[in-house]
Amino acid sequence: MMLYPPVADIADKAGSRYQLVNLVAHRARAISAETEEQGEPMDEKPVSTAINEIYAGRLQIVKNEETTQD
């Protein structure tokens, strides 16, 4: 069980738990690819890094709104 940061707090920041899981997974894959490309060892797990970025407000979900023209 994850104690810090509280899941409820980061789920609220992401919009829902479903969006939170997708955002963390996407960002963790990107972090893993970046570190592999640079050839550097990871200081902490990519998932932990992604969660901390969301909690700190450095990573957000941007909703696309469709516009229609008449």
- pLDDT (tens digit, 0 to 9) for every residue of the chain, 70 residues total? 456 788 888 888 888 888 888 989 999 999 999 988 888 787 888 998 998 888 888 877 776 666 556 5
Q: What one-character-per-residue DSSP string does 10-39 give?
A: HHHHHSSHHHHHHHHHHHHHHHHHHHHHHT
pTM over 0.85: no
Helices first, then strands: H and E counts in the chain: 3, 0
Alpha-carbon span 38 to 41, nearest angstrom: 9
**Cβ contact 21:67 at 8 Å:** no
